[in-house]
Chain A
Amino acid sequence: MNRAKTSRSEAEHARIEMEINQILATEEELLPSSGFASAVMERVRQEAALPEPIPFPWIKAIPVLLLAGGGIVWSVVEMVRLGGPGLRLTGLSQSAQSWLTNPLANLSAAQARPVEQAGWVALALGTSLVSWLLSRRLAGRGGLL
């Protein structure tokens, strides 16, 4: 009796699915409105008339970006170093803390001086970049260049 009930319900399911199938398969076709193709071609012609977009100058930008990135990293390290004992660097080993708080201590005095000067230059460049980006943003112009 149970088997008959199950097969009846399976047949019912199959019938409903077939019905859904038929409804979805027989959709009335829409005809495009009369001006559709002309409207598309109008937009295509407008696009074709535009000058080619200028590609982003990656070759020029990469050194600048690397320099700016280096400057930012250096400035962070400098801030940590100058902040020294006041900063708590939890989760770092003793050697990593000492490297971060005073990286120049591991270099000789002759090596340390030019590196320190380069650091200040990088910091100045980074600051300039940030202020330039900020001014562009305030002026409402997106993008990097």
Chain B
Amino acid sequence: MNTATIAENNRAAADLADVARVLDGDTQAFEGIVRRWQGPLINMAWRYCRDRGRAEEMAQEAFLRAWRGLSRWRRESSFSTWLFALAANVYRTELKRFPTETLPLEAAPEPAGLATQHSELAAQLSQDAVRRAVLALPVRYREPVVLFYFHEMDVAAAARTMGMPEGTLKARLSRARELLRQRFPRLEEEHNAHPSRKDKNAARVGHPHFSKSEVAEETGREAAR
């Protein structure tokens, strides 16, 4: 069994224990759930709105809804699947009520040209332009993209969070990629050569929502037990 799986199992066991304590009336036990899932839920909200303050507000609302609806989790799926689906629902509703200010896809700025792309700043700008363009996609394509990359390109997990068949999600992803490609026809390969990017790629292991350090921390705790 690899370290990521062990960490995931520990987390699932801790979720189960905390949920049981909360349902028995121990309000404080909910803090364990909040501390474990605050990072993933805030990062997920960030991908929906690209506004840090708002991402935290939306994540807070998702936790409150989870608190209120904890008794409705039927344990048919893992706690994280239930929590992500609930959070996606909250974020979708929030953004419907107060949409983010986005440019239409055609107005999203084109990444910087060849002459400037060697600077770190220009590379960063071009990446930001692509990420912001996701928010300008039509709603039906935006959410599959957001969740697919949030779940580290796991189609099944993204489909579970959205509550839609995998085939539908794949079709929407394909269309979304096509729209983005049409919008950014001159993206340069320089992006990949950027050293900081390689480091970030290397930091992501095993579990889709936790960094290497978090996984190592969890594994250490398991060893201590």
Contacts and interface: CB of A to CB of B under 8 A. Distances in A.
B101 interface: no
A43 B47 CA distance: 24
A48 B23 CA distance: 12
Interface string A39-52: 11101110110000
Interface in B25-61: 27-28, 30-31, 34-35, 38-39, 42-43, 46-47, 52, 55-56, 59-60
B67 to A, nearest CB: 5
A21 B59 CA distance: 26
Contacts, number: 93
B191 A44 contact: no
Interface stretch (B86-94, B163-171, B180-188): B180-188
Contacts of B72: none
B185 A37 contact: no
B177 A17 contact: yes
Task: Bin the interface of chain B by size.
Answer: 35 or more
B37 to A, nearest CB: 10
Majority secondary structure, B binding face:
helix
A78 B207 CA distance: 70
A28 B211 CA distance: 11
Nearest to B55: A30
Interface in A17-72: 17, 19-33, 36-37, 39-41, 43-45, 47-48
A40 B130 contact: no
- Of A15, A24, A29, most B-chain CB atoms within 10 Å: A24
B201 interface: yes
B145 interface: yes
Given A23-B131, A27-B47, A32 B56 contact: yes
B38 A19 contact: no
A13 interface: yes
Contacts of A25: 149, 152-153
A19 B189 contact: yes
| Residue from A22, A39, A44 whose CB has the most chain B CB atoms within 10 Å | A44
B192 A22 contact: yes
Nearest to B68: A47
B127 interface: yes
B60 A36 contact: yes
B124 to A, nearest CB: 10
8 contacts: A16-B185, A26-B201, A29-B39, A29-B43, A31-B39, A33-B56, A43-B60, A44-B27
